[in-house]
Structures are given as C-alpha cells and as structure tokens.
Amino acid sequence: DTLDQVAGCLASGAMAGNDASDDEEMQALHPSAERIGASGTAGTVVKSFETEVPSTRKERRMVPLYQVWPSENQFFCRGILMTGGSEDCWAPNICVWTCILLPSSLFFIWVFPSLWHKGAYALPIAVLAVFSMTAFLLCATCCTDPGIVPRREVVLATGCGPELQAALGFDVLGGSSDGKEPQLNPKLKTQGYRWCRTCRIVRPPRASHCSDCDNCVLRFDHHCPFVNNCVGQRNYHFFFGFITSVMILAMLVIPSVLTYFSALNQERTVDQMSQASTSMRVALYGLAIGVVLVIVASLLSLVLWGYHVFLISTSKTTKEFQKSVPNVNEEPTLCAPRGPTLFDRWMKVDPDDLKVPNQARR
C-alpha cells in the first residue's frame, strides 16, 4: 500500500509538471496575454488574444476627418484646401477664371512686350502685380474655411466641445445629450443665438446654415457660386480683396488692350482678315464677343464692389440686408477678428461616429 501511494504521488506530480510546461508554452505563443495569477493576486480578469482584435480593428478604421467629412465640402491636397461641394458651381467658377485670364492673356502676349520695348515699365509691372494678387485672392476665397461651425457628429467624434466653448464662449451642443432641441434662454435668443435643426447645434449671432455646403457658417454673408464656396467670417476679407483687385485689373487691362488694337494699321488688318480662313474668322469673331462679355462682367464687378462697400459701411452682411435682420452685436463686417478654424481636419476619427442617427433625420 505504501508503494502504491508513492507511485500515485509521483504520477500526479508528473501530470502537474506537464500542465505547468503546457502553460509556459501557451504563454510563449501569446506573450501579450495576461494569465490568471501572473500578478500574484486572485481574481485578475483574463485579457485574452481575442479581446484585443476588435480594438485593433477599430484603430485601423480611424481615418482623418477630412476624408469622411459629413457635409458637402470637398478637400484637396491632403486636407489643406477645402471648397464648397455644389456641382452646379463649377461652370460659374470657370467663367470667372475665363473673364480674368482672357483679357490678361491678350495684355501679356501683345501689350506687355510692346510697352516693355518702348521703355514704359510702370504699367506692365503694375498689371503683373495686380494680376498676381487677383489670382491669389480668388484662390484664397475658393479654398479656405469660411468659418464653419462643426456639426454635432463632428464635435462628439473629435471631442472638441471644450475647445469650441472656449473659442465661442458657449456650449454649441446646448447641454443636450440626445441631440434634441434644448430650451434656449430667452436672453440668448434676443442676442441672436439659434438652434440649427440640421447640424443640431446652437449657432452664434450672425451665423447661418448654408444649404449648398450643408454647414453653419460664422458671420454668414452668402454662398457665392462664382467662387464655389461660402463667404463668411474667415474669408470675407479675401472675397472683398478679390472683387477690389479684379476691378482694378479690369481698369488697367481693358483700356490698354483696346488702345493697342485700335492703334494698329486698320487697312492692313482688314486685308489680313479678308485673307484669313473661315475657321480663323470664326475664332476672331468669338474673341471679339468674349471681349465684349468681359467688359460687361467688369461693369458688373464695379456694381458688386460698390454694393459691398455699402454693406461694410453699414456693418451688415448680404443676408442681413436682404432679409432685414438687425446686427444685434454691432460687430463690423470687414474689420472684425477672423478667428481660428473650429475643427481639426486631420484628427483621426471613426467613420461610424459621424453617422447621423435615424431619429435625427426625421
């Protein structure tokens, strides 16, 4: 009997040793897995290899915000540039570029060399400087953030609520945890604060929701199809600078081009026209019609410039003037602070967090 007990103890010891070696082999295969009792305390929760797979998959789903932006804006150059998302605005935008490039090309091809060879440097240099400024201001108006207030899904996905409250001075979520319209303080309503049912945020005074870009924009002036972007607090000075520079460019270029071509030998020009082919005549007539349209566009730009000078002098935006909305905080339209961008377009977010709940769409 004693021998049988000793043999049983040895067998059970060998089985325990095998189990311990098996455990060591399993831990070697999965070194990141925490085993029960590894810390020397009982009740430790096992973190298996399978429980880490979902978190790894979620990290793989994280993408920059600009790639999954929930509204209609489009981003270019890895999110550096942004513009409006309306497909109907590409034709007006191309028309603006054509009205700038057509007379400028005529000037730089014919008038510029003629004046330069004659020693008249002032006008060519001035036209080159104003043309460069016009192109820059147009690109800046088209491709910069007009002052977008991020919608509820973006605020929650990026966790930028405290930063927004520090920048704007109020909680854009309105203290609502479920996205339903909160009861705004009557004092805030008289100051111009409104609840946006589309973005489900509280927007500040003078801000408005743009149906083309599907965003709320600070100090919203209008959505301009010719620049394919909203004009608001952060790009209004670019817009006004653009219409000012394009008016000056027209005053410099168009008279110079007309004077140059009118000074040519008319008889020689008529002979060359009569000897030109039919396709060449059509092209020349088309060019003449284009010049006339450019002159008309220049006159319209002068009217537009005068209109915005009036708005700036009265501290109103286009929307406020058209709808007789008072400027409740008496903030200037042009010289007010531009303010920071209210969202980080490169922050990594989960695309699922930007989906609008079904009850919010109703």
Q: Which residues are catalytic?
A: 224
**Percent of the chain as helix, strand, coil, to the nearest 5:** 55, 10, 35
Residue 6 CA, distance from chain mean position: 81
Cα 133–340–195 angle (5° rounding)? 115
Residues facing 201 on adjacent strands? 196
- Helix, coil or strand: residue 195: strand
Q: What is the CA radius of gyration of the chain?
A: 34
For residues 276, 265, 99, 253, the Cα torsion angle rounded to the nearest 10 degrees is: 160
Helix (H) or strand (E) holding 331: none
Q: Which of 58, 129, 141 shows the shortest CA–CA distance to 97?
A: 141
The DSSP bridge pattern shows strands 208-210 and 201-203 to be unpaired
| Residues in Cβ contact with 239 at an 8 Å cutoff, skipping those fewer than 6 apart | 137, 141, 221, 224, 227, 231
What is the token pair recorded at 139?
């690109």
E strands, 3-66, where? 63-64
Query: Which amino acid type is present at position 78?
Result: R
What is the token pair recorded at 342?
């209210």
Asked if residues 222 and 231 have their Cβ atoms less than 8 Å apart, the reply is yes
What is the token pair recorded at 33?
């897995």
